[in-house]
Every structure is written in C-alpha cells, then in structure tokens.
Structure 1
Amino acid sequence: MSRVVNLILILLVVLGVGYVYQIKGEAEEASDRAAALQGQIDEVRQTIEILQAEWSHLSRPDRIQTLVERYEQQLQLGPMEVYQFSTLDDVPLRPIELDPLSRGALGGVAAGQPGVLAQ
C-alpha cells in the first residue's frame, strides 16, 4: 500500500515539475514579447522626437521669411488686408439630410446618437 502511495506522490511531483516548466516557458515568451514591444515603442518615440525637431526647424519664422523672399515671384504673396479676414457668420452651415421617418430613426444630428429612436 505504501509503495502505491509513494508512486502516486512521485508521479504527482513529476507532473507538477512539468507544469511549472511549461509555465516558466510561457512566462519567458511573454517577457520576450514585452521586450520586443518596448523596443518598438522606443523606436517610435525616437522617430517622433526626430520629426518634432525637424518640424521645429522647418517652421522657423526666419527660414519661412527667407523662402518667401526667395520665391516671391512664384508665390505672389503680399501683406494681409483687413477685408481678407472673415467671421464665423460668413461660413455656410452644412445642410442636414433627414432620413425618412418610416425607418423609425430620427434624421439629422439625432440619427447618429445611439439609443435615440423615433416615438
């Protein structure tokens, strides 16, 4: 009887070791994936920093002024006049297209709202 119990316990220990080894492998794979993603994140951040620096360089007012002076004939730019400015009242509103009421939904702005149904 005690031999059977010992064999069962040894079998359980071997199964437990195998399970722990499997979990260790999965944890290492997850760690590798996390490290790879972190590397990608670092590359993207570095690219963003480079692009921000390039944008700062390209949008410098003195550089833009030099380009305007160099290409004055092609651009035909001039100083802004007061009449060139507009107000929001001058901008036309977008027309609202109403859906047919037979479909049961409200038209216009309410049509895009979830949970809004015609009575």
Structure 2
Amino acid sequence: MFRATDVVMIGLMVGAAAFTYKTKHDAENQFDQLRKVESEIRYEEDTISILKADWSLLTQPGRLQRLVENYDAELKLVTVEPQQIVTVDAVPLKPVGEPDPLEDAIAKMIEKTDKTVTGGITR
C-alpha cells in the first residue's frame, strides 16, 4: 500500500503541476496584454503619421494664400506694419503694488534656521 512519504510526494507533484499550470497561464495572459498594447501603439503611431500629413497639407503657404484671398471680405486681414512692432523698452513695467504673497513665503522659509542639533552637526 501507500506509505506516508508516497502520499506526500504525490501531493508535492500535484502541487508543482498546479503551480506550473498557473504560472504558464499567467505568462500567456501577460503576453496577450503585451500584444494588445503593442497593437494600440502601432495604431496610435499610424494615426500620428496621418495627422502630420494632414497638417502639412493644411498649412501649405499656397493653400493659405488662396484661403486668404477667398475670404478677404469676411476676415479683413491686413499686413503687419513696422510701426505695430515695438522694442522691449516700449513695454510698460510691472506696476508697483503689494508684494507677491508667494514671494514673501519663500523669503521667510529661506530665513528660517533649524534649531535642532543632530549628530552630523558640530557647534
């Protein structure tokens, strides 16, 4: 008949087989998920390349010029005159007012000193 060691060995073999099956099943599931993500990435890359092609077609200077000429009455676009562009010196300075509360909080944190003495600090 069966001895106790035989029963234990059979139990270990069944457990090892179950563990092997579960591990294989989990690995296959992970591989399926990986293939799905890779296919989604390929789809997105294809979509991006199509959108880039569309963008390059839509922003061709000749096409834009034709659109401007066709819709000139509605858009009333005019050429930028040199007088419209100013230098940095012509831009007004920021008005003097209350100080920025965030700036004050940062300054207070910088001024704080830690009174805790640790083993790495000698006084």
Smaller-chain TM-score range? 0.7 to 0.9
Q: Which residue of 2 aligns with 1:38?
A: 38
- Report 1 or 2 for greater relative contact order, CA contacts < 8 Å, sequence distance ≥ 6: 1
CA displacement, residues 60-113 of structure 1 (integer Å, 9 cap, x when unaligned): 000000001111111112222111223444276598631496xxx327xx9xxx
**Percentage identity across paired residues of the two chains:** 30
Gaps of 5+ in 2: 113-123
SS class of match (2:25): helix
Aligned length: 108
Gaps of 5+ in 1: 111-115
Instruction: Pick which of 84-93 and 45-54 moved more.
Output: 84-93
Instruction: Pick which of 57-66 and 67-76 moved more.
Output: 67-76
With the length of structure 1 as denominator, give the TM-score of the two structures: 0.74
Q: Which residue of 2 aligns with 1:77?
A: 77
Give how far 1:58 is off: 0.3
Cα distance between partner residues in 2 of 1:10 and 1:61: 79
The 1:16–1:41 alpha-carbon spacing in structure 2 relative to 1, beyond 3 Å, is same
Question: RMSD value over aligned CA atoms?
Answer: 2.8
